[in-house]
Amino acid sequence: MFQGIRKSVLWIKLTHWEYWSFHALYAPLYPYWIWLCIRARTSFFINTANPLIKNGGFLMESKKEIYDLIPLEYYPKTLLVEPGSDFEYIIHQIKDLGLEYPLIAKPDIGMRGIAVKKIICLDELKEYASKNKMAYLIQSFVSYEREVGIFYVRLPYESKGKITGIVSKEFLNLTGDGQSTVLALMQKNERSILQIPYFEKFEPKTLTKVIAKDEVLLLSPYGNHARGAKFIDITELNSPGLTDAINQICLQIPEFYFGRLDIKFQDWESLCQGKHLSIIELNGAGSEPTHIYDPKHSVFFAWAEIIRHWKLLQQISIYNHRNQKIPYMGWKKGIQMLKDNHQYIQRLEASQ
């Protein structure tokens, strides 16, 4: 059975560009990236885009260090757990911070939703802590049901930034019929089919459950494309009010010029007023304009948007280098960053 599922997964990935691997999608654009490097006269201009974030937020940046730049009212309560921390000490810290279940646990240096888990009890937290050999975060679970990714760009010499893309995230769920197992229901939808290997490995018991008729089961509470969320381009809903609200937030984040804010929020009206929201992730120079992953878009649209954002990234980086006298990352350090990232991903995946 699972052999047939794997063939279906392969076919879906081949015929839908939104599921292509990173290098398959970006390979045709690498010559343009090289051209940007030539124009900037450096192979690694990315670190000057957001000077106070490690590597500009391109790779290997600490989420906790980024949260520390954001005003407290805009992100969930967050605890950094260092490798080898005593579990009793972790529990003590959780109580001191006022964290309550459910919680979200995730690596401090994250990568496409790997090792992100909703924790609902002490036993699950203990299991997560025992498996992780790298620094990770424990956060309040944000209960707002709606989530967007807002790409923000501000040229350093301007007092107001702009929104260059907005993506709405539709979480992966199933509606029961009272007879079929979760596995049978997942096989009926290409987006959920892609998640079967994950459930086979990490949550096999879920696949055998039968959902009551009309009951909705949330398969993944994460607004991550790799974890089954559907990305919908809603950039056309941008407005002066929303731009002003996001700009006011971002101006409070020191020297933040380029990146994507992943935000959970109560309702659209409140979001446009900068209220009842929580920034669950802030990504820097390595951010993707994730509205490109809307299934309605072609790969040519995606390539055009990536190029547009790369050009803005280079423009900001060059300005900060020339006018703020911020040095570029050297070749040796840049290559080491790439090596460290590759090794880190391997360790992260091995810990699953």
Instruction: Show the beta-strand stretches assigned E in 200-338.
Output: 216-220, 230-233, 258-265, 277-283
Residue matched to tokens 């529990």: 91
Position 60: which residue type?
M
Strands, sheet with 117-119, edge to edge from the N-terminal-most edge strand: 78-81, 136-140, 103-107, 117-119
Question: Over 60: is that where the pLDDT of 204 sits?
Answer: yes
Average pLDDT over residues 47-63: 97
Q: State the distance between the two ends of the chain, measured CA to CA, in whole angstroms.
A: 24
Query: What is the pLDDT confidence band of residue 225, given thresholds at 50, 70 and 90?
Result: confident
Query: What is the pLDDT confidence band of residue 5, given thresholds at 50, 70 and 90?
Result: low
Average pLDDT over residues 168-174: 89
Query: What is the pLDDT confidence band of residue 44, given thresholds at 50, 70 and 90?
Result: very high
Name the percent of the chain lying above pLDDT 70: 97
Query: What per-residue confidence (pLDDT) applies to 19?
Result: 86
For residues 162 and 183, give the distance between their C-alpha atoms in angstroms, rounded to a whole number.
43
Query: What per-residue confidence (pLDDT) applies to 307?
Result: 98
φ, ψ of residue 13 in degrees (nearest 5)? -65, -35
Ramachandran class of 56: left when φ > 0, alpha when ψ lies in -120 to 50, beta otherwise: left
Ordered domains of the chain (ranges, CATH)? 18-76+143-170+230-350 (no CATH), 77-141 (3.30.1490.20), 172-220 (no CATH)
What six digits make up the tokens of 3? 């052999």
Query: What per-residue confidence (pLDDT) applies to 199?
Result: 87
Query: What per-residue confidence (pLDDT) applies to 7?
Result: 57
- pTM given for the model: 0.91
Query: What is the pLDDT confidence band of residue 16, given thresholds at 50, 70 and 90?
Result: confident
Question: Over 70: is that where the pLDDT of 2 sits?
Answer: no
Average pLDDT over residues 172-176: 89
Average pLDDT over residues 135-139: 96
Say if residues 57 and 259 touch (Cβ distance below 8 Å). yes
Q: Which strand (E) or helix (H) includes residue 307?
A: helix 299-323
Question: Over 80: is that where the pLDDT of 223 sits?
Answer: no
Ramachandran class of 69: left when φ > 0, alpha when ψ lies in -120 to 50, beta otherwise: alpha
Q: Which of 174-183, 188-197, 235-244 has the highest mean pLDDT?
A: 235-244
Instruction: Show the beta-strand stretches assigned E in the chain.
Output: 78-81, 103-107, 117-119, 136-140, 146-153, 162-170, 172-175, 216-220, 230-233, 258-265, 277-283
Question: Over 90: is that where the pLDDT of 133 sits?
Answer: no
User: How does strand 230-233 pair with strand 216-220?
Assistant: unpaired
Average pLDDT over residues 5-13: 69
Average pLDDT over residues 292-307: 97
Instruction: Compute CA distances 139 → 9, 45, 169, 259, whole Å.
Output: 33, 32, 20, 22
Least confident of 23-27, 97-101, 204-208, 253-257: 204-208
Prior bond of 76 cis (ω within 30°): no
Question: Over 60: is that where the pLDDT of 89 sits?
Answer: yes
For residues 48 and 50, give the distance between their C-alpha atoms in angstroms, rounded to a whole number.
6
Question: Over 90: is that where the pLDDT of 141 sits?
Answer: yes
Chain segment 246-278, per-residue pLDDT in tens = 999 999 999 999 999 999 999 999 999 999 999
Cβ-Cβ contacts under 8 Å for 197 (sequence gap 6 or more): 2, 5, 6, 9
Query: What per-residue confidence (pLDDT) applies to 4?
Result: 54
For residues 188 and 183, give the distance between their C-alpha atoms in angstroms, rounded to a whole number.
9
For residues 49 and 317, give the distance between their C-alpha atoms in angstroms, rounded to a whole number.
4
| Average of per-residue pLDDT values in the chain | 92
Kindly give the interhelix angle for 122-131 and 87-97, rounded to the nearest 10 degrees: 130
Question: Over 60: is that where the pLDDT of 170 sits?
Answer: yes
